[in-house]
Structure 1
Amino acid sequence: MRRCLNCLIFGMGIAYTLFLIWAVLWKCGVPFVGGGERVFNILPFNNNTRWEMQFNIAVFAPFGFYVAASLRKLSLPKLVLIIPLASLALEVVQFVLAVGRSDVTDLLMNTLGGIIGILAFLVLTRIFRKREQIVTLVVCALMTLFEVYMAVSFIFWGQLNLGFMIIR
């Protein structure tokens, strides 16, 4: 039973990672390669909107949670190291494919979001020691449902639609 739950959590983590790649590289739009200029902004918090920074934190927090839930045997420093490495890889791919602006601020905000996700996982496992596995599964399922909603929202409305409040 425990092994089956771990596989389910891992599978949802893979699905979320695919969404994350789509969100970061193509901003939830139609995938394309090239067509834009290659820009790399090395000045933190330069020409970044608050929405962009919040979005980066929001999409990387579940990624951090999934990393911690899937790789439980790794130490905290190794878990934390995965986040900026994954973010850096996405920024490099974004630059190579010329599909957006590679940005140091994105790297910082993605890392912050991932660390928040790792810490959320650690807090939940401490609070729900005996039911930690089922609580993790429920949280992962909710995050995956929200991911599907975000994807559908971007496909149909071109933005995240939160009922009456639309984030632009």
Structure 2
Amino acid sequence: MKLVNIWKIIFVVYICLLLFFVVVKFNESIDRIISIKESRSAGYWNYNLIPFQSMTRYLQNMTDSYAYTNILGNIIPFSPLGFLIPIIFRKCRKFVKSILICFISIIGIETFQFFTMLGYFDIDDILLNTIGCLIGYSVYGVLRNYIKRARKAQELWRDKNGWNEDKYL
């Protein structure tokens, strides 16, 4: 099996897990949906469009585990997306294209959560998710540069030592 196909399988599994645990929130109960629906009936909608409103609350309560869970729970699950997009989609290997695809995906997820009442459309979640994607893309960039340097060193070694594959194959 080609390495490209393995990465595609990893990507599909990752997307399924992301949807299952982050978007649909498998670990939560139906009570959350009922709560959001009741809030809407009372005139409160499940969205936050004020940047840093949620994050400020979390940072002020960093001693509480929910603050860590929410911040890291919005960053870590999206790091693989920033890593896998440029690997799977050759046309998206440039930083701007890759992060734009991640950003559009995140907006789609947040919008889905809003309309299905499976969660909240929160601008802070979008920011934290995007930070996760930036971390993932950074890991991709570091690994890509490492692989490029390793290949170049290998080519230099072959040239220096007169390595001729035809001679040995």
Length-normalised TM-score, structure 2: 0.68
2:9 partner amino acid: G
SS at match of 2:145: helix
Give the deviation of 1:90 after TM superposition: 0.3
1:12-23 pair list within 5 angstroms: 12-23=10-21
1:62 to 80, 100, 103: 80
Deviations 1:89-123, CA, capped at 9 Å, x for gaps: 00000001001122110000001100110111111
1:63 partner amino acid: L
Bigger Rg, which one: 2
Q: Are 2:78 and 2:130, in contact at CA under 8 Å, matched by a contact in 1?
A: yes
CA distance in 1, matches of 2:131, 2:48: 18
Length-normalised TM-score, structure 1: 0.68
- The alignment's C-alpha RMSD in Å is 2.2
CA distance in 2, matches of 1:5, 1:46: 43
Is there any run of 5+ residues in structure 2 with no aligned partner, and where?
A: 38-44, 59-66, 152-169
Partner residue, 1:79: 98
Q: Are 1:24 and 1:90, in contact at CA under 8 Å, matched by a contact in 2?
A: no
SS at match of 1:128: helix
Task: Report % sequence identity.
Answer: 27
1:127-146 pair list within 5 angstroms: 127-129=146-148, 130=150
Higher percent of residues as helix: 2
Partner residue, 1:95: 114
Q: Are 2:79 and 2:135, in contact at CA under 8 Å, matched by a contact in 1?
A: yes
Higher percent of residues as strand: 1
CA distance in 1, matches of 2:116, 2:91: 34
**Structure 1's 31 and 84: CA in aligned 2 closer, same or farther, altered over 3 A?**
farther
1:24-35 pair list within 5 angstroms: 24-29=22-27, 34-35=33-34
| Structure of higher RCO (CA pairs closer than 8 Å, 6+ residues apart) | 1
Is there any run of 5+ residues in structure 1 with no aligned partner, and where?
A: 132-168
